[in-house]
């Protein structure tokens, strides 16, 4: 909550309470550093607020109000939950407050957060002669944090920020075979982005070898982070936070970036924010195009994932469906490997496909009409491999461009059809293509045509932001930082981390 909110706050006070806070009271309180005041906004306008004072491990909740037009929407619960969470972060365990004896809704709200009536102040509210009930808890926990995210929009989340605007964030990514670091200011201004690819070390094996990945991350990470800081012209002491990918990915690869980030957070005292790698891929779209904002549907297609995700609000993710077996990029990689074409297979197959006929071979479109959002790509990969074997056995030369184009088209057809269905079902007006496979030109084109035909804004990130990088982790990390999300120093890498957890 800021001084700019006070005109509205005073109006809400007057309409809500017989003994309203005045502008001077709010102004004096906001200037003190032993107070926490948070605001809820809708459409950029204040509609509620809550404030507390604290000393050592004990807090006093001083005020909580929601404008009458916005009551019954869960905002009071969300405000209380956020306020308590901020207090818990400051080491507070116990809290007290007074509530009007007959204000049942308020009493229920505080009871749901663990407060109990422990006494009364007779006649405390002199205007009405009502008693104040004193409520108390010595087991402060912030309830309903996830409910809070459902309710609060971006503006409220930003108002809850306990970091400066224009925050300088260092982001680290090491979930697969790219060691990456980036420095970003204010969530959008990219000062540097360094990616050290290990692809040469994996290519001779036709895929990522986890043990090699961990070792190479360990060798590269210090230099990659140094380079990102140097390029940005900043030092550790200039930073406001550290963001790091903590899942999903290869566990031995993730731990390298995470261990570095935790060590740095411990040494500097900077806040540490954990980012989901898939969320990072989605944020590559917001980084590239500021019109992209929830509600939206994203298709994350990479070497490890094929997921259709509904993002109704900032910070809220619902996985609508994902692959039951191989990921889309994995299918490209495996087909290329079988043909002896090299690794990664995606760029090679898509280049070859440009010269081929996509209708030459009728490969299966698995689950295209399954009615749900699951994908299956291992059957397609097997059909391609069987086709190659069959042709070779018959003594015929395989037409590689035709094969590449037909395989690619089978992948694209299913993805486009499910993505369009998801957009229609959720009713969103924005669609994002994300992940390494989003670099595929034919997929970008097919998706753009199909979505535009449905009047949907389509976003495809620039090529450099499709494959793994830390700029996207910085963008997602800054959003999490502003929502108050923090990763503990004893947090572990989560190789199977799901979006929304
Ligand atoms: O996102 P990413 O860099 O790493 C993971 O998170 O997995 O994606 C890498 C994947 C690889 O499987 C690669 O073959 C695929 O993206 N890829 C492509 C193209 N460029 C990269 N797949 C199809 N067409 C492309 N042009
Ligand atoms: Zn990725």
Span 248-301, pLDDT tens digits: 999 999 999 999 999 999 999 999 999 999 999 999 999 988 899 999 999 999
Per-residue pLDDT band at 141 (split at 50, 70, 90) = low
| Predicted pLDDT at 222 | 96
Nearest CA to ligand 1 atom 26: 440
Residue 111 CA to ligand 2 center (angstroms) comes to: 44
Q: What is the mean pLDDT of residues 100-129?
A: 89
Residue 466 CA to ligand 2 center (angstroms) comes to: 8
Alpha helical stretches, state H, 362-470 = 378-393, 400-426, 441-453, 463-466
Distance of alpha carbon 182 from alpha carbon 171, whole angstroms: 5
| Domain limits, CATH 3.40.630.30, in the chain | 3-161
Instruction: Evaluate: CB of 439 within 6 angstroms of ligand 1.
Output: yes
Q: For residue 130, with 0-12 CB atoms within 10 Å meaning exposed, 13-18 middle and 19 or more buried, which class applies?
A: middle
Residue 37 scores a pLDDT above 80: yes
The fourth-level CATH superfamily of domain 3-161 is Gcn5-related N-acetyltransferase (GNAT) (3.40.630.30)
Instruction: Evaluate: CB of 344 within 6 angstroms of ligand 1.
Output: yes
Instruction: Evaluate: CB of 187 within 6 angstroms of ligand 1.
Output: no
- Region of residue 146 (left: phi > 0; alpha: psi -120 to 50; beta: else): alpha
Q: What is the mean pLDDT of residues 50-79?
A: 91
| Predicted pLDDT at 19 | 85
Residue 159 scores a pLDDT above 70: no
| Predicted pLDDT at 147 | 34
How many CB atoms are located within 10 Å of the residue 375 CB? Answer: 28
pLDDT tens digits along 186-225: 998 999 999 998 887 777 777 788 888 899 999 999 999 9
| Predicted pLDDT at 163 | 57
Pocket test for ligand 1, best of 279, 302, 336 (most atoms within 8 A of CB): 302
pLDDT tens digits along 291-342: 999 999 999 999 999 999 999 999 899 999 999 999 999 999 999 999 999 8
More confident of the two residues 410 and 123: 410
Residue 360 CA to ligand 2 center (angstroms) comes to: 31
Q: Thinking of the domain 289-466, which architecture would CATH place it in?
A: 2-Layer Sandwich (3.30)
Residue 497 CA to ligand 1 center (angstroms) comes to: 20
Atom of ligand 1 nearest to the CA of 351: 26
Give the ligand whose atoms come closest to the C-alpha of residue 341: 1
| Predicted pLDDT at 196 | 92
Pocket test for ligand 1, best of 461, 467, 497 (most atoms within 8 A of CB): 467
Residue 234 scores a pLDDT above 80: yes
More confident of the two residues 431 and 92: 431
Q: What is the mean pLDDT of residues 69-87?
A: 88
Prediction pTM value: 0.69
Peptide bond into 291 cis (omega under 30): no
Per-residue pLDDT band at 153 (split at 50, 70, 90) = very low
Percent above pLDDT 70 for the chain: 95
Pocket test for ligand 1, best of 198, 249, 253, 344 (most atoms within 8 A of CB): 344
More confident of the two residues 123 and 260: 260
Residue 164 scores a pLDDT above 80: no
Instruction: Evaluate: CB of 332 within 6 angstroms of ligand 1.
Output: yes
Nearest CA to ligand 1 atom 22: 346
Residue 430 CA to ligand 2 center (angstroms) comes to: 21
Query: What tokens does 473 get?
Result: 């982790």
Distance of alpha carbon 75 from alpha carbon 162, whole angstroms: 20
| Predicted pLDDT at 218 | 94
| Predicted pLDDT at 124 | 86
Q: What is the mean pLDDT of residues 136-154?
A: 52
The beta strands (E) that lie in 306-393 are given as: 306-313, 316-322
Nearest C-alpha neighbor of 450 from the set 426, 475, 433, 469 = 433
Residue 97 scores a pLDDT above 60: yes
Instruction: Evaluate: CB of 248 within 6 angstroms of ligand 1.
Output: no
How many CB atoms are located within 10 Å of the residue 334 CB? Answer: 21
Per-residue pLDDT band at 156 (split at 50, 70, 90) = very low
| Domain limits, CATH 3.30.420.40, in the chain | 168-281+470-483, 289-466
Residue 405 CA to ligand 2 center (angstroms) comes to: 24
Atom of ligand 1 nearest to the CA of 435: 1
Residue 35 scores a pLDDT above 70: yes
| Predicted pLDDT at 146 | 34
Residue 279 CA to ligand 2 center (angstroms) comes to: 10
178 contacts: CB under 8 Å, gap ≥ 6: 195, 196, 197, 198, 467, 468, 469
Instruction: Evaluate: CB of 174 within 6 angstroms of ligand 1.
Output: no
Q: Which CATH number fits domain 168-281+470-483: 3.30.420.40, 3.40.47.10, 3.40.50.300, 3.40.630.30?
A: 3.30.420.40
Residue 25 scores a pLDDT above 80: yes
């Amino acid at each position: 909550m800021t001084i700019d909110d006070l005109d509205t706050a005073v109006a809400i006070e007057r309409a809500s309470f017989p003994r309203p806070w005045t502008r001077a009271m709010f102004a004096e309180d906001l200037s003190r550093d032993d107070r926490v005041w948070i605001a809820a906004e809708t459409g950029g306008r204040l509609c509620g607020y809550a404030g507390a004072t604290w000393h050592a491990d004990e807090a006093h909740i001083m005020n909580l109000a929601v404008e009458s037009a916005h009551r019954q929407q869960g905002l009071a619960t969300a405000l209380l939950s956020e306020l308590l969470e901020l207090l818990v972060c400051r080491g507070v365990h116990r809290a007290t407050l007074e509530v009007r004896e007959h204000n049942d809704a308020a009493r229920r709200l505080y009871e749901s957060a663990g407060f109990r009536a422990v006494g009364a102040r007779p006649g405390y509210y002199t205007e009405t002669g009502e008693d104040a009930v004193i409520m108390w808890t010595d087991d402060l926990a912030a309830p309903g944090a996830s409910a809070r995210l459902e309710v609060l929009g971006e503006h409220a989340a930003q108002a809850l920020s306990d970091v400066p605007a224009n925050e300088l964030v260092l982001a680290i990514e090491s979930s697969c075979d790219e060691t990456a670091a980036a420095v970003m200011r204010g969530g959008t201004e990219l000062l540097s982005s360094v990616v050290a690819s290990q692809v040469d070390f994996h290519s001779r094996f036709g895929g990522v070898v986890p043990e090699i990945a961990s070792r190479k991350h360990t060798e590269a990470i210090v230099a990659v982070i140094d380079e990102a800081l140097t390029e940005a012209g900043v030092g550790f002491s200039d930073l406001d936070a550290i963001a790091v990918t903590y899942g999903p990915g290869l566990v031995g690869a993730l731990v390298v970036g995470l261990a570095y980030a935790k060590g740095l957070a411990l040494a500097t005292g900077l806040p540490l924010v954990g980012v989901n790698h898939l969320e990072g891929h989605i944020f590559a779209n917001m980084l590239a195009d500021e019109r992209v904002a929830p509600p939206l549907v994203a298709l994350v297609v990479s070497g490890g994932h094929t997921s259709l995700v509904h993002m109704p609000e900032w910070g809220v993710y619902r996985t609508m469906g994902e692959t039951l077996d191989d990921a889309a990029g994995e299918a490209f990689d495996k087909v290329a490997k079988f043909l002896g074409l090299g690794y990664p297979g995606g760029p090679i197959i898509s280049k070859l496909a440009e010269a081929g006929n996509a209708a030459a071979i009728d490969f299966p479109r698995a689950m295209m009409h399954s009615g749900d959002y699951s994908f299956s790509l291992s059957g397609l990969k097997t059909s391609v491999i069987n086709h190659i074997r069959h042709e070779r056995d018959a003594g015929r030369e395989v037409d590689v461009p035709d094969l590449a184009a037909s395989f690619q088209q089978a992948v694209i057809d299913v993805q486009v059809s499910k993505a369009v269905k998801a957009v229609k079902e959720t009713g969103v007006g924005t669609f994002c293509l994300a992940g390494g496979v989003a670099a595929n030109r034919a997929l970008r084109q097919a998706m753009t045509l199909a979505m535009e035909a449905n009047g949907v804004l389509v976003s495809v990130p620039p090529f450099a932001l499709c494959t793994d990088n830390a700029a996207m982790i910085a963008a997602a990390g800054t959003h999490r930082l502003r929502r108050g999300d923090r990763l503990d120093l004893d947090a572990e890498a989560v190789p199977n981390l799901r979006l929304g957890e």
